[in-house]
Amino acid sequence: MRRLLMLGLAMTALITAVALSRTESPKGEGASNPLQVSIDERNPWTTLKLNNNPNEFRFVVVSDRTGGHRAEIFSRAVKQLNLMQPEFVISVGDLVEGYADEKKEKDKERLAEEWREFDGYVRQLQMPFFYVPGNHDLSNVFEHKVWKERYGRTYYHFVYRDVLFLALSSEDEIPAAGDAKDDKKQTPKVGSYISQKQRDYVKKTLQDYPNVRWTMVFIHKPLWALPEIEKSGWLDVEKSLAEGGRKYSVFAGHVHRFQKFIRNGMNYYQLATTGGGSKLRGERYGEFDHFAWITMKAEGPTIANVMLDGIYPENMQKIRTDEKARPETTKRPNVYATTGKVLDSVGQPVANALVTFWAYDKKNKKYVHKADSLTDENGTYSLSTYTANDGAPAGEYNVTVIKRVPLFDESGKPGKNTLPEKYGKADTSGITVTVKGEANNLDIRLQ
């Protein structure tokens, strides 16, 4: 009897193992091969439930490439994305340097070459790339014309696996042909504006897709954090997004500094750079080259900021490309290391304060921002002008010191300044220094 029982148990285990090895592939797109493994009473794994839900997918958002682009960054990111293999890539604008004058033939030729260069990079991707325009791409009516000739629409949408993707333009013409009457009240210009026509498009698109599981919005400028938000048209977009309890996320760029916002209970992300102008001072400043890796799960998106410096091919050789930097970035005045401490009236260090050096522009009769730094916990600052901790040009400066708590709140507004207001303006701070053509150590005392 015992022998029969043991034989029965052995047969049961064998049938279980065979059944597992014969498991059919999941149905539908993206199905993987069945997991085949022998199961014992004790097994060296946590679970056999694979993380391969066919409704999940992964895509990438790249940020500003231009605004003083640096050599070999965006083109390297293209090759790194091919290593990572997302399903598609979408941008938040500023793809070319732009700002071309139609009346200047050299500008027209330069803009055409910039677009040919950029298109050449994204054509190397092994997955789709979705364009979103920025202010460098649509700085004037002429550049709008060029965009429409090359790519057609400046705003559009698509749906993938029950997720709505809205690619918007923060650089509408004002007024634009066919827009509603309220646009005609605005001063004609281009930029920092969502026309009534585009707002109507957003509203209708959202009405057409009321039950998608999530909505992803991509726009170049974080209009919710810029002055005159009421005139930009963004509040109408938010109103449409809020209808029906819709779940959504918003991605922008433009500022070249990472920051997360929360508005109306939803997450908004201002990305740093993917090659655009940056001092690259790291996470504390929100200055780094990265892309956002987004996994769309049933409960919503999970977002990972992937630093470009952390992605290497299997041979661990740094990826090299022939992408050149913007010419102006190689023709800059010399700078000199400038450090020091910020101390209060009793000699105690002032931590987490923004120190800014301002030079007076006699021609335009105003102070011009030249270099800045955040103080550390010991009150020490190290100025940056072009790159991290490179210093400042030689000259005379007025210095401002501001300590905001928090630096920015979750809605994007600067926190309250906890220092006397006079130190926050170049013409009232009373702090003047001289940076010499050598290493400088300049302590700052707040009286």
The CATH number of residue 337's host domain is 2.60.40.1120
Based on the domain organization, do 278 and 398 belong to the same domain? no
The predicted model gives 221-237 an average pLDDT of 93
Q: What is the 3 state secondary structure string of 392-407?
A: ECCEEEEEEEECEEEE
- CATH value at residue 261: 3.60.21.10
**Cβ proximity of 134 and 254 under 8 Å:** yes
Q: What does the pLDDT read at residue 7?
A: 43
Averaged pLDDT score across all residues of the chain: 90
**Cβ proximity of 217 and 248 under 8 Å:** yes
The predicted model gives 408-430 an average pLDDT of 90
User: pLDDT tens digits, residue range 144-170?
Assistant: 999 999 999 999 999 999 999 999 999
- Residues 6 or more apart whose CB falls under 8 angstroms from that of 168 comprise 132, 155, 194, 198, 202, 217, 218, 219, 237
Helix axes 141-151, 105-122, angle to 10 degrees: 40
Strands 214-218 and 189-190: unpaired
Based on the domain organization, do 368 and 306 belong to the same domain? no
Last residue of a domain, one of 327, 347, 382: 327
Task: Report the C-alpha gap between 132 and 170 in whole angstroms.
Answer: 10
Based on the domain organization, do 189 and 308 belong to the same domain? yes
Q: What does the pLDDT read at residue 181?
A: 47
Tell me which DSSP letter residue 208 carries: H
pLDDT of 324 higher than 60 = yes
Instruction: Kindly report the number of other CB atoms within 10 A of residue 304's CB atom.
Output: 11
Tell me which DSSP letter residue 309 carries: G
Confidence of residue 330 (pLDDT cuts 50, 70, 90): low
User: pLDDT tens digits, residue range 281-301?
Assistant: 999 999 999 999 999 999 999
Q: Does residue 43 sit within a domain? A: no
Q: Does residue 109 sit within a domain? A: yes
**Cβ proximity of 98 and 139 under 8 Å:** yes
User: pLDDT tens digits, residue range 168-188?
Assistant: 999 998 764 444 445 444 445
Last residue of a domain, one of 272, 294, 327: 327
Q: Does residue 77 sit within a domain? A: yes
Based on the domain organization, do 270 and 379 belong to the same domain? no
- Decide: helix, strand or coil at residue 337: coil
> Please, what sign has the CA dihedral across residues 185, 186, 188, 190?
negative
Task: Please report where in the chains the tokens 């290493």 appear, as a residue.
Answer: 439
Q: Nearest 5°: phi and psi at 423?
A: -75, -5
Q: Does residue 316 sit within a domain? A: yes
pLDDT of 12 higher than 80 = no
- Decide: helix, strand or coil at residue 345: coil
- Residues 6 or more apart whose CB falls under 8 angstroms from that of 245 comprise none
User: pLDDT tens digits, residue range 77-124?
Assistant: 999 999 999 999 999 999 999 999 999 999 999 999 999 999 999 999
Tokens representing 424?
A: 């926050």
Tokens representing 45?
A: 């794994």
Tell me which DSSP letter residue 224 carries: G
Q: Does residue 47 sit within a domain? A: no
Based on the domain organization, do 76 and 215 belong to the same domain? yes
Proportion of the chain above pLDDT 90, given as a percent: 81
Based on the domain organization, do 319 and 386 belong to the same domain? no
Q: Does residue 3 sit within a domain? A: no
The partner residues of 278 in beta bridges, in order of sequence, read none
pTM beyond 0.85: yes
- Count of domains for the chain: 2
Based on the domain organization, do 307 and 199 belong to the same domain? yes
Instruction: Kindly report the number of other CB atoms within 10 A of residue 306's CB atom.
Output: 17
Tokens representing 316?
A: 């661990």
Based on the domain organization, do 349 and 430 belong to the same domain? yes
Based on the domain organization, do 210 and 299 belong to the same domain? yes
Instruction: Look at residues 168, 38, 144, 28 and name the one whose alpha carbon lies nearest to residue 90.
Output: 168
Confidence of residue 22 (pLDDT cuts 50, 70, 90): very low
Based on the domain organization, do 232 and 336 belong to the same domain? no
- The dihedral formed by the CA atoms of 11, 14, 16 and 21, expressed in degrees to the nearest 10: -150
Q: What does the pLDDT read at residue 357?
A: 98
Q: Does residue 2 sit within a domain? A: no
Proportion of the chain above pLDDT 70, given as a percent: 89
pLDDT of 143 higher than 60 = yes
**Cβ proximity of 435 and 393 under 8 Å:** yes
Task: Please report where in the chains the tokens 């919710």 appear, as a residue.
Answer: 224
The partner residues of 343 in beta bridges, in order of sequence, read 349, 445
Based on the domain organization, do 146 and 201 belong to the same domain? yes
Q: What does the pLDDT read at residue 13?
A: 44
Q: Does residue 89 sit within a domain? A: yes
- Decide: helix, strand or coil at residue 183: helix
**Cβ proximity of 300 and 291 under 8 Å:** no
pLDDT of 386 higher than 90 = yes
Q: What does the pLDDT read at residue 293?
A: 98
> Please, what sign has the CA dihedral across residues 422, 428, 431, 433?
positive
Based on the domain organization, do 321 and 352 belong to the same domain? no
Q: What does the pLDDT read at residue 329?
A: 57
Confidence of residue 412 (pLDDT cuts 50, 70, 90): confident
Task: Report the C-alpha gap between 135 and 99 in whole angstroms.
Answer: 8
- Decide: helix, strand or coil at residue 260: strand
Last residue of a domain, one of 276, 306, 327: 327
**Cβ proximity of 274 and 291 under 8 Å:** yes
Q: What does the pLDDT read at residue 309?
A: 96
Print the domain residue range for 437.
332-445
pLDDT of 23 higher than 80 = no
Q: What does the pLDDT read at residue 9?
A: 42
Confidence of residue 24 (pLDDT cuts 50, 70, 90): very low
The predicted model gives 304-327 an average pLDDT of 94
User: pLDDT tens digits, residue range 233-289?
Assistant: 999 999 999 999 999 999 999 999 999 999 999 999 999 999 999 999 999 999 999
Task: Report the C-alpha gap between 111 and 151 in whole angstroms.
Answer: 14
Instruction: Look at residues 224, 246, 243, 245 and name the one whose alpha carbon lies nearest to residue 235.
Output: 224
User: pLDDT tens digits, residue range 36-90?
Assistant: 999 999 999 999 999 989 899 999 999 999 999 999 999 999 999 999 999 999 9
Amino acid letter for position 136 = H
Task: Report the C-alpha gap between 235 and 347 in whole angstroms.
Answer: 46
Q: What does the pLDDT read at residue 26?
A: 33
